[in-house]
């Protein structure tokens, strides 16, 4: 992958990966998928995914 990636791309990748496989990608997979992205941005994408997934099924 190339271009101006940020945490949102990591989040979207994680959602797509989860929808396609039923598995949450490991951090090492994300770092390999986004090698030019600052690891802090990868962690931010992971945090966003965890936040959203944690709220699934909760009463609003």
- Summarised one tens digit per residue, pLDDT across range 9-48 is 999 999 999 999 999 999 999 999 999 999 999 999 999 9
Residue 29, C-beta contacts closer than 8 angstroms, at least 6 positions apart:
17
Domain assignment present for 1: no
The answer on pLDDT for 60 being more than 50 is no
Cα–Cα distance, 4 to 19 (Å, whole number): 24
Tell me if 22 sits within 8 A of 60, measured CB to CB. Answer: no
Domain range for 23 is: 7-55
Higher pLDDT among residues 60 and 4, named by residue: 4
Domain assignment present for 2: no
* Count of structural domains, the chain: 1
Domain assignment present for 29: yes
């Amino acid at each position: 992958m190339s271009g101006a990636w940020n945490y949102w791309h990591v989040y979207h990748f994680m959602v797509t990966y989860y929808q396609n496989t039923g598995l949450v990608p490991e951090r090492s997979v994300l770092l390999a998928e986004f090698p030019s992205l600052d690891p802090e941005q990868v962690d931010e994408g992971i945090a966003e995914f965890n936040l959203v997934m944690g709220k699934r099924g909760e009463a609003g």
